[in-house]
Structure 1
Amino acid sequence: MLQGTGVSMALPWLSSMTPAFAGKPDEKSAAPKRFVAMTLGLGLIGDNLNPAIAGRDYKPSRYLKSAQDLRDQITVVSGSSHPGVKGGHRAEASILTATAMGSAGLVRNTISLDQYLAKHLGDATRFPSLVLSNGGSTSPSYTENGSMIPPEDSPSALFAKLFIDNSARQRDLQADRVRQGRSIMDLVGEDAKSLSRELGSGDRDRLDAYFTSVRDLEKRMAANERWAKMPKPKVDAKRPVDIGNGSDLIGRQRMMSSVIKLALQTDSSRYITYHIPGAGGVIPIKGVDEGYHGLSHHGRDEEKLSQLALIETEMINAWADFLRDLQSTNEATGNLLGNTAVFMTSNLGNSSNHDNRNMPVLLAGGGFRHGQHLAFDQKNNYPLPNLYVSILQRMGMPVDTFATSTGTMTGLEMAT
């Protein structure tokens, strides 16, 4: 009961608080390192995404032709997946945790990559992380205790939280809420300490782990008391108007991406996850007249594959435009793309048969040496969690493992 309360008080409380901004980075110091994960619920057609040959001299695939100006900023990875992860759509929960949930989803999930970063490095900004969606109530972001973090799916609401100031009275109320929360946790802590004297050693260990999480949360809440009274950043952009058509995934993707860029530029958050689920409606793209989810179950039907390719091409184009926006935004050292690792993947390698192997993987920016296709075994997949270790190390985390990793990703080097 105490542990469950700790989870509910931790991340949902922080994500519901009015955002502010972290102020301008010190001009004399290096720009902060950031991470953005864009995850897809219905995958990408591998034959259209992955180049035919490995290495740096690959010929661009159908999906990557329009992104050749970004070639030296992108790494394509094929033949990788999360060891032991199955379950088709259910594996959305495993995208960033790499935890095998079992065919019935009975296994408790673990912390996701973005939340691991936020836990250890997220205290420098108003938002330790932002969890976003293109529609729907699910996300691939999970707390240390395996609780899914509900996403924000409105670009307009996100913009308002980031950049539209509350009144002075509302800011005082926000700070008051933080202080009240800390007082409640003090009371719970006293009760729990009394309880611990009556517990066995195993339960005492579990309670100690709970106290550790409470102490971490108290530190965050103390910081948020300060943020609650600070004004928000001013940006040269208007509040977006949400797209009413829930099937317009590409339009929504572009709109949310523009707000994500502003969040990074103002250092409001450094760790952002954006999930694009599989909508059932017809996406408004010329040449597409069947529902997206239905097209994903193509069964190798040529007409369905043709329409699905039109949709996925536009998704990659929107992703590439997001990269260009980051690249064109200069910082004290380099540009936003060079200081932001942008990761795209999906739980599905083949949406038609719900296969979780051979996941689509694109990595851009973030100070890695890109411009290559890392092609691993399509039958005996390479562990994708190795890439997560590489990302964590690039972010400055002194770790050697994450989930089922066996080390860092072979062939992926950091830029000098």
Structure 2
Amino acid sequence: MPRQALDRRTFLRSSGIAIGLPFLNAMLPVSAAEARKTATKPKRLFMVGRPLGMHAPNFFPTDAGKDYVPSRYLKHLQSRRDDFTVFSGLSHRYGAGHYAEVGLFTGVHSDFIRPNDIKNGISLDQEVASRLAGQTRFNSLILGGGNASWNRRGVRLPPEYRVGSVFKQLFIQGTVEEAAREMRRIKDGQSILDDVRDQLGSLNKKLGNDDRERLDLYVSSIREAEQKLQQDETWQLTPKPKVEVKLPQELSSAQLVERTRQWYDLVHLAFQTDSTRVVSLWLGSQDKPEIQGVTIGHHDASHHGQDPAKLEQLSLIEEAEMKVFGEFLDKMKASSEGEHSLLDRTSIFHASNLGNASNHDNMNLPIILAGGGYKHAGHIAHDRQNNTLLSNLFVRMVQQMDIDMDKFGSSTGVFSEV
């Protein structure tokens, strides 16, 4: 019977302490060749969220299956037709209007996503990032804005709004003095955490059950901070990858198309250099975008009330967005990684929390799943009135990342169609 490799992330556990094992021969696959092959094939996750929906008649095909006739928007993705699936009839069944933005990537039960009463769970990007922690310089990147990424305690994680700032973190090494200052920050943080941990041990003996539960949450935060500091120390000593790209200039939200292209180019570089394997990106704009034929703001156009003039301007905006997304898919497909492309190795989820922004409807969300090695099936159509839970697709996505999970958010099963 062939030997099964021991997981490299196997730990010895006792009293809440996890001790990582040294590298053992048992952690190697059956052959060294297989080990090298596995090491060069990382899987990645990219989640793109938009706050203002997509006009359904321009987005969804009228027919299902692989032979669907592309809609106005999907025409701009047809160079990658075999590399993505479009879904209709999926949602989280939320009834909270714009508030549902916070649950798009978490998929928690609708009882926990209500106006002024949010009790969120972990988002899919952070669940995957937690399983891949330490393998890259950044466990994840949270980009663009919005309220999409949440940790395991249901706390919102702040995004990076500035393209140039993220580029510097990824690719600009900094001076010797800056590196030394960063190392001092890391060492100081480790020392402080050691002191706090010692004090917690004695304090815990004096508390009741409720306070101990609160303290446990605090201790888990400290453990996460310790792990992050240890990771920072390792990567601080590792040179950043060099790229033949200039520092991008900051653009206004009115420059919607170019700014979106900047973000996609940055994500492509981050994956290409294996600086991270998990990215979430929130793309929203309230301003009037600099697109020919558009004279009103994106938000105003999305709340069209079926006004034909506003609908046409909305269509011009969303069509421009879809063109840039198509460019990104082409660039990912053209980037080789061994026998495959970056697109083949990256699960790309593109969606909005609104099915119809004009009336704040959260049903029948516009969803595309691209790349990732799935069995793409063209247009998969579910009931647009009695929607299938989107979290069932999330379970399929996390399993595609080779993570053993059979439930996520409010899921009731797992997709088998892709």
Alignment TM-score, normalising by the size of structure 2: 0.87
Sort the Cα spacing of 1:63 and 1:86 in 2 relative to 1 into closer, same or farther, 3 A.
same
Cα distance in structure 2, aligned partners of 1:120 and 1:321: 30
Cα distance in structure 1, aligned partners of 2:342 and 2:113: 38
Q: CA deviation at 1:172?
A: 2.2
Matched, 1:351 2:357: yes
> Which amino acid is the alignment partner of residue 153 of structure 2?
N
Pairing partner for 1:49 from 56, 59, 67: 59
Give 5+ residue unaligned stretches, structure 1. Answer: 1-24
> Is 2:377–2:417's contact at 8 Å kept on the other side of the alignment?
no
Cα distance in structure 2, aligned partners of 1:182 and 1:26: 34
Secondary structure in 1 matching 2:170: helix
Matched, 1:317 2:327: no
Sort the Cα spacing of 1:187 and 1:120 in 2 relative to 1 into closer, same or farther, 3 A.
same
Sort the Cα spacing of 1:398 and 1:57 in 2 relative to 1 into closer, same or farther, 3 A.
same
> Which amino acid is the alignment partner of residue 205 of structure 2?
R
Q: Which has the larger radius of gyration?
A: 2
Give the stretch that moved more between structures: 164-173 or 67-76: 164-173
Cα distance in structure 1, aligned partners of 2:63 and 2:179: 56
Secondary structure in 1 matching 2:350: strand
Cα distance in structure 1, aligned partners of 2:356 and 2:156: 24
Identify the residue that residue 170 of structure 2 maps to in structure 1: 162
**Matched residue pairs, number?**
382
Matched, 1:88 2:97: yes
> Is 2:79–2:330's contact at 8 Å kept on the other side of the alignment?
no
Cα distance in structure 2, aligned partners of 1:304 and 1:355: 18
Identify the residue that residue 368 of structure 2 maps to in structure 1: 362
> Is 1:126–1:269's contact at 8 Å kept on the other side of the alignment?
yes
Pairing partner for 2:130 from 115, 119, 131: 119
* Equivalent runs, 1:53-64 vs 2, <5 Å: 53-64=63-74
Matched, 1:188 2:183: no
Matched, 1:215 2:251: no
> Which amino acid is the alignment partner of residue 292 of structure 2?
K
Q: CA deviation at 1:291?
A: 1.3
Secondary structure in 2 matching 1:123: coil
Pairing partner for 2:278 from 271, 283, 286: 271
Matched, 1:294 2:300: yes
> Is 1:73–1:371's contact at 8 Å kept on the other side of the alignment?
no
Percent identity reads 39
Q: Deviations over 1:120-172 (max 9, x none)?
A: 21320111010110xxx533111122222221122222111111111122212
Identify the residue that residue 373 of structure 1 maps to in structure 2: 379
Cα distance in structure 1, aligned partners of 2:174 and 2:36: 26
Q: Deviations over 1:312-334 (max 9, x none)?
A: 11111111111111110101231
Cα distance in structure 2, aligned partners of 1:396 and 1:123: 17
How big is the alpha-carbon RMSD for the aligned residues of Structure 1 and Structure 2?
Answer: 1.7
Cα distance in structure 2, aligned partners of 1:206 and 1:409: 36
Sort the Cα spacing of 1:213 and 1:396 in 2 relative to 1 into closer, same or farther, 3 A.
farther
Give the stretch that moved more between structures: 321-330 or 195-204: 195-204
Q: Deviations over 1:41-100 (max 9, x none)?
A: 1010111111111111211111111221101001001101013x2211111111111233
> Which amino acid is the alignment partner of residue 331 of structure 1?
E
Secondary structure in 1 matching 2:132: helix
Identify the residue that residue 8 of structure 1 maps to in structure 2: none
Alignment TM-score, normalising by the size of structure 1: 0.88
Pairing partner for 2:266 from 259, 263, 266: 259
Cα distance in structure 2, aligned partners of 1:378 and 1:353: 16
Identify the residue that residue 38 of structure 1 maps to in structure 2: 48
Identify the residue that residue 16 of structure 1 maps to in structure 2: none
Cα distance in structure 1, aligned partners of 2:114 and 2:215: 31
* Equivalent runs, 1:122-201 vs 2, <5 Å: 122-133=133-144, 137-201=145-209
Cα distance in structure 1, aligned partners of 2:137 and 2:68: 42
Cα distance in structure 1, aligned partners of 2:218 and 2:404: 24
Q: CA deviation at 1:202?
A: 4.4
- Hey, which bits of structure 1, 4+ residues long, moved more than 4 A? 25-28
Pairing partner for 2:81 from 48, 54, 71: 71
